[in-house]
Amino acid sequence: MGMPAAGFWTRDSVLALPEDGNRYELVDGKLLVSPSPRGAHQAGVAELFRLVDPYVRAHRMGRVCFSPADLDFRSGQLLQPDLSLSPSTAHHDRVTKRQYYQRAGVPVYWIIDLDLRSVEVWSPGDRAPVTTKHRLLWQSDIGIPPLVIDLPRYFRAVWAE
């Protein structure tokens, strides 16, 4: 399938692309293409799921899902949240998608950099991230105790062989 006329992609044109191992996302009519994630990315996703899912379930906050899973803001966009970066997606994660999530009012956007063993924390209106290597806190409701992730322990688990 070729590029749509005038270079503007739609949700339907992205969904019509073949299953070829790439991940396709759509932000403001721009097609973002990423290769299949590397093993460390998968380990990072699995470990983060292991930490976040019990917290979400215990407080009946919803459901935690693995990618690929399309995030739909009912805006014609097509996004799949990332949990870590690879060099091929760093620009999309840190700029294109981050800016969209901020405009959409997503309260917290984490960019986990497995290689640097750090996390960038973004909120709407932020011009720069809060970067941490020690502890990550998340609290969606003031009446619920925060989830606290010990980052050195997280990164050790991700890189364990």
Nearest by Cα to 113 from 146, 154, 147:
154
d(C-alpha 117, C-alpha 10), whole Å: 35
pLDDT, one tens digit per residue, over 26-76 is: 777 888 777 766 778 888 989 999 999 999 899 988 888 776 666 666 666
| Angle, helices 39-58/151-159, rounded to nearest 10 degrees | 130
> b/e per residue, 110-145, with b = 16+ CB within 10 A?
bbbbbeeebbbbbeeeeeebeeeeeebeeeeeeeee
Spatial contact of 84 and 108, defined as CB atoms under 8 Å apart: no
CA angle 21-95-104, nearest 5°? 95
For the chain, the average pLDDT equals 82
Structure tokens at 134: 């020690």
pLDDT, one tens digit per residue, over 89-112 is: 678 888 888 888 898 888 898 999
pLDDT, one tens digit per residue, over 117-134 is: 999 999 999 999 999 999
Spatial contact of 82 and 68, defined as CB atoms under 8 Å apart: no
The pLDDT, as a whole number, for residue 34 is: 75
Number of residues assigned to the chain: 161
The pLDDT, as a whole number, for residue 135 is: 97
Residue whose token pair is 């990423």? 34
pLDDT band at residue 84 under the 50/70/90 scheme: very low
pLDDT, one tens digit per residue, over 65-83 is: 776 666 666 666 666 664 4
The pLDDT, as a whole number, for residue 142 is: 87
47-56 long-range contacts, Cβ below 8 Å, gap at least 24?
A: 47/154, 47/157, 47/158, 48/83, 48/112, 48/154, 51/147, 51/149, 51/154, 52/138, 52/147, 55/147
d(C-alpha 28, C-alpha 161), whole Å: 40
